[in-house]
Amino acid sequence: MERPSWAPVVLSGALPRELSDLLAISILTLASLESVFAQLQPFNQPAWFATLLVLVPMTCALAALSNSSRTQKEELALFAYGGSGLQIQLRYILRGVVVSIIGLSPLWLRFLATESILSTNLGLLLGSAIVGGLAYAAPALKRTRSLAFVEQYKG
């Protein structure tokens, strides 16, 4: 019995491969390193987290937007292969989460080394990564829901 599978479409796109993804990771890494090496202790400050909540989704959304022409080809192919809109969104959310986690890795390492696994800071970091994933998927969601998208199949 051949049954459609979710894993290939979601997992095959999890790893960031594009230049824009690498740039987004670099920006987040630089911001993370700046926080880690700052002599101040900013991690409990609401302002620091608010900055993270703005920086991560904006960087992820910018990475996704700057790569629109290639990702549109990707979306057209995935729909043609039988993928659903939800699967394709999950694919991008996962990729955005991976970009965020790698980019914020200096902070992850610091908190994992110094705090409990259930600490608030780690939770906030995870929340930032999820918000980053959602922001990464947002341009594709807008694109694939437009009538202009299916017009692309017509050559």
| Contact set with another protein (CB under 8 A) | 1-5, 8-9, 12, 17-18, 70, 73-74, 76-85, 147, 150, 152-155
Give the CA angle between residues 72, 78, 84 to the nearest 5°: 110
Of residues 117, 131, 111, the one with CA closest to residue 52 = 131
Quick one: 7 or 117, whose CB is closer to another protein? Answer: 7
Quick one: 48 or 149, whose CB is closer to another protein? Answer: 149
CB of 6 to another protein, least distance (A): 9
Which tokens sit at 47?
Answer: 């302002």
Quick one: 36 or 77, whose CB is closer to another protein? Answer: 77
CB of 23 to another protein, least distance (A): 16
CB of 64 to another protein, least distance (A): 14
CB of 75 to another protein, least distance (A): 9
